[in-house]
């Protein structure tokens, strides 16, 4: 079917066992092309395409959005990483 394909994907990335380096990366794609990426530890978004640059400028002015991104790293990423680690990594 004809139409448009838009989606966003969040990735929780960390490498320490205490999760102190937890980062939430949010990617926004349109028609399978990544247009925008936001990083919770940097507290900003970067546009990759022309439209993504416009979106990034808008998101970077929205302090509530940026604070929410940082909060999600703590409220979503860390608890899920702990569950994952306890069920997979900690098994001997």
> Does the structure show a pLDDT above 90 at 91?
no
Rounded to two decimals, what is the model's pTM?
A: 0.84
Residue, of 10 and 86, whose pLDDT is higher: 10
Fold of 6-87: 3.10.320
Average pLDDT, the chain: 92
Measured CA to CA, the distance from residue 47 to residue 8 in angstroms comes to: 14
Residue with tokens 């929410």: 68
The backbone region for 37, taken as left when phi is positive above 0, alpha when psi lies in -120 to 50, beta otherwise, is beta
């Amino acid at each position: 079917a004809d139409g448009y394909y838009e989606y966003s994907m969040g990735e929780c990335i960390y490498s320490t066992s205490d999760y102190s380096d937890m980062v939430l990366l949010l990617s926004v794609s349109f028609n399978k092309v990544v247009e925008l990426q936001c990083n919770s530890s940097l507290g900003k978004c970067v546009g990759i395409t022309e439209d993504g640059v416009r979106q990034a400028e808008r998101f970077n002015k929205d302090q509530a959005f940026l604070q929410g991104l940082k909060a999600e790293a703590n409220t979503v990423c860390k608890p899920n990483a702990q569950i994952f680690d306890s069920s997979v990594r900690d098994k001997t």
